[in-house]
Amino acid sequence: MSRSVPHNLRRRIETLRRLRRSRGVSVPEDPVDFAVNFLAWRPFPYQMDLLTDSSTRICVCAARQVGKSTTIAVKALHTALSKRGSRVLVVAPTLRQSLLFLEKVHELLRRSEVAFGSLAKTDRTSVKFLNGSKIIALPSGRFGHTIRGFTADAVIVDEAAFVPEEVITEALMPQVATTGGSIVLIGTPWDRGHVFYRCFTSSGWSVKRWPASVCPLIPSSFVEEQRRLVGEEAFRREYLAEFVEDSNSFFSAELIRKCVADYDPSPGRGSELVAGYDWGGRSDPNALVVVECCGGFLKLVHAETWMSDSYAYSVSRVASLQREMGFKVVLEEIGAGVLVREQLEASGVDVIGVGPSEVERTMLLLRVLMESGKVKIYLDHRLVDSLRSVRYEKTRNGRVRFFHDPGTRDDLARALALAAWGSTLSPLSVSVALLEP
């Protein structure tokens, strides 16, 4: 008979030892002290300001890459470890983003042996601590079905501008009503027609704006370079953290947000895949977007861009991915597009060419499908920014001309429109009547 201690008993003994050790550890009440001495993470002044803000309603409008995800992970950990038996709910537009948040939590815990010793149990969407507290990270979904019924001591909404408004107002805010808990909305600005903007401009909320200039890790030279490259409107959103009016964008901010969905982008076996390929050149990137036609919907499964003025290299790249995924390719058969089509077909790729008279209709079709609720995209900021960059005007002969402002990129938007055109959802014709007031 084996004299070894059963595995479950060993785990129980180790948990009891860790619990005993954790009871002897004092968690700093001051959030900055907690970050520096408990987690071995030193925040910048603007991050300290958020950590020490005890308001129950906080709205943070932040540029990208300023450390907002790490800061809210620290804030969530401090709440969980300083208040025994507390529940912190973190909500993001998609499951992938929720899981990325939990990765931030684990990274912070691993920085400190004392902090890591406070863990009791982890699973895919939650972290439980020895003091009975729990951090739960979930996707919002379109209607908040997965998060209704919770009560929480703190609710944190990441990428708040892309979480459906009714989820925030009807599913999340009531969760802190009986606990007197806090709610933090944080994200990059998108449009003014959403509750994120109304909270940001409300006197009842503690409001913070983090432009890229607040982060000492982002060189001012890089920020100025981006001002020249991405266009004024995108620069004000992405780097100045300003809400910008939706101008004459062909795809409105609200329409794009309604298409953002939480799903597994892996295509189903035997499903129809279509790739839109917007070939580039010396100054324009190549863009490839792959969609799955499934159950009457177009579902984004892949999007990428690359710079190369070598058609041979780009054709090889597209053909390699096509052999892996098995899609047909749709591209504009204009100018060099004729040569690109010939080279793709020589590589064994099934190609659909779109002539000059049909290019405008691909964009029109995409908007019709989006307005009909038939397009699902995961939150890829390159794609949503590309969609929003598309401008349009009617010409004297009744046609529609599409363009984009200097510094912006419409490549991924065009690739998505081409993919839609080659799908089974494409009608025989699309009328420009949808542009009438």
Q: Which residues contact 80 (CB under 8 A, 6 or more apart)?
A: 86, 88, 127, 129, 131, 133, 134, 135
Within a domain: 210: yes
Residues 21 and 85 in one domain: yes
Amino acid at 389: S
Residues 122 and 166 in one domain: yes
Residues 263 and 184 in one domain: no
Angle at 393 between CA 369 and CA 386, to 5 degrees: 55
Q: In the sheet where 328-332 sits, what is the strand order?
A: 351-354, 328-332, 272-278, 286-294, 297-306, 375-376
* 360/3 Cα distance (integer angstroms): 77
Per DSSP, 212 falls in state G
Within a domain: 127: yes
Residues of the domain holding 343: 253-435
C-alpha 239: how far from its chain's center?
16
Residues 72 and 183 in one domain: yes
Within a domain: 1: no
Within a domain: 235: no
What is the pLDDT tens value at each position of the chain, 437 positions in all?
A: 445 556 565 555 455 455 445 454 688 999 999 999 999 999 999 999 999 999 999 999 999 899 999 999 999 999 999 999 999 999 999 888 888 899 999 999 998 888 888 888 888 889 999 999 999 998 887 777 778 777 889 999 999 999 999 999 988 988 888 788 999 999 999 889 899 999 999 999 999 999 999 999 999 999 988 887 777 788 888 899 999 876 678 999 999 999 998 888 888 877 899 999 999 887 889 999 999 998 889 999 999 999 988 989 999 999 999 999 999 999 999 888 999 999 999 999 999 999 888 888 899 999 999 999 999 999 998 999 999 999 888 777 777 888 888 778 899 999 999 999 999 876 644 554 454 44
* 50/80 Cα distance (integer angstroms): 16
Within a domain: 232: no
Q: In the sheet where 134-139 sits, what is the strand order?
A: 119-123, 126-129, 134-139, 87-92, 154-158, 182-187, 57-62, 206-210
Residues 216 and 365 in one domain: no
Within a domain: 348: yes
Residue 36: what are its φ and ψ, rounded to 5°? -75, -50
Residues 259 and 200 in one domain: no
E strand or H helix at 254: helix 253-259
Closest CA to 278 of 298, 304, 255: 304
DSSP letters for 33-93: HIIIIIS-----HHHHHHHT---SEEEEEE-TTSSHHHHHHHHHHHHHHHSTT-EEEEEES
Q: Which residues contact 434 (CB under 8 A, 6 or more apart)?
A: 364, 367, 368, 371
Residues 207 and 316 in one domain: no
Report field, pTM of the whole predicted structure over 0.75: yes
The CATH code of the domain that includes 266 is 3.30.420.240
E strand or H helix at 308: none
Last residue of one domain, picked from the residues 176, 196, 220 = 220
Do the beta carbons of residue 299 and residue 263 sit within 8 Å? Answer: yes
What is the bridge-based pairing of β-strands 272-278 and 286-294? Answer: antiparallel
C-alpha 229: how far from its chain's center?
22
Sign of torsion over alpha carbons 308, 313, 315, 316: negative
Strand, coil or helix: what is 344? Answer: helix
- Residue 346 CB: number of other CB atoms within 10 A? 10
**Domain count of the fold of the chain:** 2
- Residue 272 CB: number of other CB atoms within 10 A? 16
Within a domain: 338: yes
Last residue of one domain, picked from the residues 220, 236, 264 = 220
Closest CA to 340 of 371, 370, 308: 308
Sign of torsion over alpha carbons 175, 177, 178, 180: positive
Structural tokens at position 382: 């390159």
Residues 23 and 172 in one domain: yes
Residues 188 and 260 in one domain: no
Residues 54 and 194 in one domain: yes
Residues 169 and 310 in one domain: no
Residue given tokens 């910008």 in the structure block:
244
Residues 163 and 298 in one domain: no
Structural tokens at position 170: 């009807």
Structural tokens at position 243: 């809400």
* 312/323 Cα distance (integer angstroms): 16
Do the beta carbons of residue 248 and residue 392 sit within 8 Å? Answer: yes
The CATH code of the domain that includes 36 is 3.40.50.300
Last residue of one domain, picked from the residues 164, 199, 220 = 220
